[in-house]
């Protein structure tokens, strides 16, 4: 009779025991490919930076204190109906802007103080200054140059309280009237929630009862908070 011998079961190549598969750390969910939106975001910001992009986050409120230089046109003072021309030195101004940015538009309120000393006069006036407060509401357009720089252009209207203080007059001349504004400039956003701006402004105040209208040009530097 043939002798039957016990044989070992055949070993299947490349097959792992089930208990090893169960104990492995392989997770199918972790192997899924990134979605198209994730890939797009990675391409736009390859280094995972938190740098702000105007194109992605251009809407929000801002508060910008500012200061600058003011350049005034000549002024005519008319005491007793006798016009006296007054030339003014370059002066200064300072204030704040509170506004809101949309993607292509902006709206803001602006308040500032200004002062210009006298330089030359056509009569007996030897010293003095013109100062005042202005408050305006303005709006305009935003144009994105890049992810970090915007160009703004706009116009506004408001009121100015001017005071003409002259050394030979006991009581200063003052008046309240309309003011018109044109503005243009660039704004940079180098960090999150931070704005830096450089602006040129033109203001025109019509004639008052005691002195003529005038043009005021200014160069302003602003820096502050954006949210």
pLDDT of residue 34: 46
pLDDT of residue 21: 46
Rounded to an integer, what distance in angstroms lies between the CA atom of residue 66 and that of residue 195? Answer: 11
Rounded to an integer, what distance in angstroms lies between the CA atom of residue 213 and that of residue 76? Answer: 8
Rounded to an integer, what distance in angstroms lies between the CA atom of residue 23 and that of residue 138? Answer: 68
114 with 89: CB under 8 angstroms? no
pLDDT of residue 36: 47
Question: Tokens 């701006």 belong to which residue?
Answer: 197
pLDDT digits over 164-222, tens only?
A: 887 766 677 777 889 999 999 999 887 778 889 999 999 998 877 667 778 889 999 99
Whether residue 23 has pLDDT greater than 90? no
Between 160 and 52, the more confident residue is 160
pLDDT of residue 53: 54
pLDDT digits over 44-94, tens only?
A: 444 444 545 554 556 789 999 999 999 887 777 776 667 777 778 889 999
pLDDT of residue 32: 47
Kindly report the three-state secondary structure assignment for every residue of the chain: CCCCCCCCCCCCCCCCCHHHHHHCCCCCHHHCCCCHHHHHHHHHCCCCCCCCCCCCCCCEEEEEEEEEEEEECCEEECHHHCCEEEEECCEEEEEEEEEEECCCEEEEEEEEEEEEEEEEECCCCCCEEEEEEEEEEEEEEEEECCCCEEEEEEEEEEEEEEEEEECCCCCCEEEEEEEEEEEEEEEECCCCCEEEEEEEEEEEECCCCCECCEEEEEEEEEEEEEC
Tokens of 202: 């033109």
pTM of the model: 0.68
Question: Tokens 């002195």 belong to which residue?
Answer: 211
Rounded mean pLDDT, 105-121? 88
Whether residue 109 has pLDDT greater than 60? yes
Mean of the per-residue pLDDT values of the chain:
76
Question: Tokens 């006296």 belong to which residue?
Answer: 84
Whether residue 35 has pLDDT greater than 50? no
Whether residue 122 has pLDDT greater than 90? no
Question: What residue ranges do the domains of the chain occupy?
Answer: 60-226
User: What does CATH list as the number for 60-226?
Assistant: 2.40.160.20
Rounded mean pLDDT, 89-117? 92
């Amino acid at each position: 009779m043939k002798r039957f011998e016990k044989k070992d079961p055949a070993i299947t190549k490349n097959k792992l025991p089930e208990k090893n598969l169960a104990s492995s750390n392989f997770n199918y969910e972790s192997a899924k490919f990134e979605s198209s939106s994730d890939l797009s975001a990675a391409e736009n910001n390859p280094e995972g930076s938190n740098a702000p992009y105007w194109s992605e986050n251009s809407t929000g409120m801002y508060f910008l204190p500012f200061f600058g230089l003011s350049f005034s046109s000549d002024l005519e003072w008319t005491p007793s109906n006798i016009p006296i021309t007054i030339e003014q030195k370059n002066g200064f101004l300072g204030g704040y802007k509170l506004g809101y940015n949309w993607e292509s538009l902006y709206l803001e309120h602006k308040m500032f103080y200004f002062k210009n000393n006298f330089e030359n006069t056509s009569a007996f006036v030897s010293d003095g200054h013109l100062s005042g407060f202005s408050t305006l509401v303005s709006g305009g357009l935003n144009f994105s140059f890049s992810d970090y720089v915007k160009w703004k252009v706009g116009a506004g209207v408001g009121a100015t309280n001017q005071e003409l203080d002259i050394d030979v007059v006991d009581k200063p001349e003052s008046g309240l009237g309309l003011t018109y504004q044109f503005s243009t400039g660039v704004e940079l956003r180098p960090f999150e929630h931070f704005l830096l701006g450089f602006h040129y402004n033109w203001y025109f105040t019509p004639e008052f009862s005691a002195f003529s209208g005038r043009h005021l040009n200014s160069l302003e530097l602003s820096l502050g908070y954006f949210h």
